[in-house]
Amino acid sequence: MYRVTLSFEDLPIRDDLRGMTPYGAPQAPLPVALNVNENTHPVPDEVAGDILDAIALALRDVNRYPDREFTPLREAFAGYLGAGLQREQIWAANGSNEVLQHLLQAFAGPGRRALGFAPTYSMYPLLTRATGAQWQAGTREDDYSLSPESAAAQVADAAPDVVFLCAPNNPTGTPLPLEVVRAVYEASRGIVIVDEAYQEFAPRDIPSAVTLLPGRERLVVSRTMSKAFAFAGARVGYLAADPAVIDALRLVRLPYHLSALTQAAATAALGHASTMLSMVDEIVGQRDRISATLEALGYRPHESWTNFVLFGGVDDPAETWRRLYDRGVLIRDVGIPHHLRVTAGTEAESTAFLEALASIDSEA
Ligand SMILES: Cc1ncc(COP(=O)(O)O)c(C=O)c1O
């Protein structure tokens, strides 16, 4: 067996990467995995067949590099988002993490600064620092909401090159009104990224920040197929922005970064958007059931417009996490004192979580 003798810190690694820890949500093979906000429903059979056919067709040309501009996929995303968007306004990559990385490579980097409002998605600081830029954590209210006044004042004060607005916010589930986006845009001189990874789980009548794009050339709206679309394993994220932003991203992407197989699979899946999204209502129902049951058990669930629930009132999160793990249920300790986060799964998975938690409480 290969013996590990060195730490990466012993290597001549970049000074600004020393002391950092990689993203590492546990990938344990437990029967009930509710820790990374996936859609736990499989891709519907009728769609899976079409996706396989599309991949089979693409495989015939896999000796050639793929379409560098992933044109049909960008057209499909423009059609899905609506709001009059054209394919020139769309970009995509291997998960929205890579989309965000492209944005930071183009608009952050050494000597620059990105700001987000903590607690927020844990990859923002990591991606920012990996481009050599500095991360600055802004603050929220005690209930994790963000007012237009406070957000704009913090942005005006810090004058960052990139602002992250996670809407709704991970790991708290908190909605982010469009007034906050407007106010932050006015207060900033840099790129404003609205990360709508969970937008499909918000109430239907809530408009997306894509409606704010006209006339705002520094605004970017990021999305993913990993959550509502049940496509996390395919790694497909995308964004909508001014075509000039897309031109900037072409400078930093690797040539042919989206494989022909990924493009084929995602385009086929988007052709069945309504079937792919048919589980969203069911997941939202389970989310609300989880919140109501947690409250009845004496916990404090936070309002959520996502497919997960952050709940407070946990005496010892590490211990509760471990006891759930021992019962075959994997959830997430996001490092907020007295809180844990759980993804809304199928009815059976959500029931397994709630019953396991109730059984721990009855032992205490
Ligand atoms: C807010 C937010 N943005 C982006 C992502 C990245 O998703 P992906 O890279 O799978 O598109 C996640 C994943 O959990 C997320 O919670």
Atom of ligand 1 nearest to the CA of 226: 10
Query: Could you please report the per-residue DSSP string of 82-145?
Result: -TT--GGGEEEESSHHHHHHHHHHHH--TT-EEEEESS--THHHHHHHHTT-EEEEE---TTS-
Helix axes 260-270, 71-81, angle to 10 degrees: 30
Pocket flag, ligand 1, residue 166 (CB < 6 Å): yes
Task: List pLDDT tens digits, range 184-232.
Answer: 999 999 999 999 999 999 999 999 999 999 999 999 999 999 999 999 9
Say how many Å lie between the CA of residue 96 and the centre of ligand 1: 6
DSSP code at position 10: G
Q: Which atom of ligand 1 is nearest to the CA of 96?
A: 11
- For the cut 80, the answer to whether the pLDDT of residue 4 exceeds it is no
pLDDT at position 26? 82
**Closest C-alpha to ligand 1, atom 2:** 197
pLDDT of residue 23: 86
Please say if the pLDDT value at position 1 is more than 70.
no
pLDDT tens readout for residues 83-137: 999 999 999 999 999 999 999 999 999 999 999 999 999 999 999 999 999 999 9
338: region left, alpha or beta (phi > 0 left; psi from -120 to 50 alpha): left
CA 172 to chain centre: 12
Structural domains of the chain in order of their starting residue, each with its CATH number: 24-43+274-363 (3.90.1150.10), 45-271 (3.40.640.10)
Give residue 238 CA to ligand 1 midpoint distance, Å. Answer: 11
Q: Name the strands in the sheet holding 300-301, side by side, starting at the edge strand that comes first in the sequence.
A: 300-301, 308-312, 340-343
Distance (angstroms) between ligand 1 centre and the Cα of 335 equals: 18
Determine if ligand 1 sits within 6 Å of the CB of residue 237: yes
Q: Which residue, 296, 123, 340, is CA-closest to 226?
A: 123
Q: Token digits for 308?
A: 């997960």
For range 291-304, the mean pLDDT: 98
* pLDDT computed for residue 154 by the predictor: 98
Model confidence band, residue 362 (pLDDT cutoffs 50, 70, 90): confident
C-alpha of residue 237 to centroid of ligand 1, in Å: 8
Q: How many Å lie between the centroid of ligand 1 and the Cα of residue 326?
A: 27
Distance between CA atoms of residues 43 and 39, nearest Å: 9
Q: Give pLDDT tens digits for 253-297.
A: 999 999 999 999 999 999 999 998 889 999 999 999 999 999 999
Query: Mean pLDDT over residues 61-84, rounded?
Result: 97
Is the per-residue pLDDT at 181 higher than 90? Answer: yes
pLDDT of 3: 72
